[in-house]
């Protein structure tokens, strides 16, 4: 259950409108592999695996190259105004404390 909550939370962050790009760095032997985390929806997500790249130094160098590429893509993005009617707000009723007299 704990892994499911972690995956759901991370997927929520990955899919957030304010996240323009994502680079996931995996050790390669953990339970939460990127393919389990992304659950088939890997649009805009790049993954590096430390064990596949041959260690930390190689992964850092690869990450820097990927980040440069991602920054170039993100700078091409433009904000687009949307009507207020398309905004969705939500709240958890469990978090609301009732007022008692």
Kindly report whether the global pTM for this prediction surpasses the value 0.85.
no
Beta strands in 1-101 (DSSP E): 22-26, 45-49
The two counts, helices (H) then strands (E), for the chain are 4, 2
Confidence of residue 59 (pLDDT cuts 50, 70, 90): very high
Q: What is the pLDDT of residue 63?
A: 96
């Amino acid at each position: 259950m704990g892994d499911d909550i972690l995956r759901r939370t991370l997927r929520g962050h990955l899919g957030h409108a304010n996240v323009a790009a994502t680079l996931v760095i995996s050790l390669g032997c953990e339970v939460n592999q990127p393919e389990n985390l992304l659950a088939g929806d890997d649009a805009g997500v790049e993954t590096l695996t430390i064990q596949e790249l041959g260690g930390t130094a190689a992964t850092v160098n690869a990450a820097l190259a990927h980040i440069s590429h991602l920054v170039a893509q993100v700078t091409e993005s433009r904000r687009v105004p949307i009507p207020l009617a398309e905004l969705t707000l939500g709240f958890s009723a469990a978090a609301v404390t009732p007022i008692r007299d």
